[in-house]
Structure formats: structure tokens, C-alpha cells
Amino acid sequence: MDGNGRWARKRHLPRAVGHKRGVEAVREVARAARDMGLEALTLYAFSTENWRRPEDEIGALMGLLKSFILSDLEEFAANDVRLKVIGDYNAFSPDVVELVKRALARTAGNSGTTLAVALNYGSQAEIARAAAKAAAKGSITPATIEAELDTADMPPLDLLIRTSGEVRLSNFLLWQAAYAEMWFTDVLWPDFTPAHLQQALDAFAQRERRYGGR
């Protein structure tokens, strides 16, 4: 999800307003993903590099995360959505960690759409952790590394969407994206709607996936 800051700047608004509108887009797209019957939706919410941002912006992001969990948790629970976190969320403040743990426990038994949120996530660090765990258990192979990834209990990544006109992966799901289809759009994340998600899915449906074969 990219473009919250630019969305706000274009409107001469504080970046925090862009992040707040971005959360509304998350809510709308997550509901649409559930209604469309998607197995899983993973959202890149806070990267390991985002710690370089100003403290007030990080504080605003954490406040929005807490607000999102508090306001939407019961809706997700009631609609069979399983919440999952990839990355090391234990690096956040104790109140955020406690809220995340409560949300994960509340929805752990749900079997519908998995909504995975990447918090303090970086794919290179994830791969390094997974390789180290695999080595501690025995041989290092693609299969043993994959079994230790944060996404090990999720279905394979089929489609990776990048908003705001950026055409790069930015340390997101590098291993998982090996054979994923990619879809890029100039739409800034706060303006991304379920209609855009459907557009991406329609484009995906037209792709021929050969996985290295002919």
C-alpha cells in the first residue's frame, strides 16, 4: 500500500490525514476480499525501514493501527476472517503488542479469508531468519526454508499489487513472489477501491501462468 503521503500532499493536508484515509481503504478492500472469496489478502502496513520516519508519524501510524483493531476486530470475528501478522510485531510498544495478540487469538479459529498484516516486516530479514531456523534443524533447501517463512501456513502468493505508480517490490514477499503475477497501478492507496481490486483480479484471470515451463 503506497501513496498515503502523496495523497495528503496533493490536497495540502498533513500526512496523518493521508494515513487515516489509507486505513479506510484497508477496511473497504478487506471487506471486498472477503466478499469475493479470496483465500488470503496480505497488506504491507509497516516495514522494517519505516522506523526511519519521524517519531510523530510513527506515533500516528501506531494510533491508527490500534484504532483499526479496536473498531474492526468484532466484524472480522463475526465474518470468519482470520487475522495474521507477518514480521516482528513484538518490537512495538507493549499496548500495541497486547492488542495484536488479542486480535490474533480472537480470530485464530476462523477459516474464511486470512487477512495478513505485515508489521515491522522486511522480506530479506524473513528469509535470513527462515534459513537460520532450517539450518538449525538440518539441511537447507528451498522446501525447508519455505517451511520456516512467516507465511508458511498461507496459500502460495498468486498476485502482488503495487499502488501509486511505483514499480518495485520494496522488500515485500521476495521469496513468495518468485512466480507471482504482478499488477501495478498509478492509483494512490487512499483512492484504491474494491473496483480496482476487481480490475486487478480480472487482469490476473487473463494471465497464462507457466512457472518456467512452455
| Cα separation, 200 vs 185, whole angstroms | 9
Give CA 161 to chain center in angstroms.
10
4 is catalytic: no
79 is catalytic: no
pTM, two decimals, is 0.93
Residue 65 CB-half CA count within 13 A: 25
3-state DSSP: the chain helix, strand, coil percent, rounded to 5?
A: 55, 15, 35
Q: Which pLDDT tens digit goes with each residue over 145-199?
A: 999 999 999 999 999 999 999 999 999 999 999 999 999 999 999 999 999 999 9
Of 50, 79, 110, 171, the catalytic one is: 50
Q: Which pLDDT tens digit goes with each residue over 33-54?
A: 999 999 999 999 999 999 999 9
| Cα separation, 99 vs 66, whole angstroms | 7
Cα-based torsion angle of the residue sequence 54, 115, 204, 164 in order, rounded to the nearest 10 degrees: -20
Ordered by where they begin, the domains of the chain are 4-120+151-202 (3.40.1180.10)
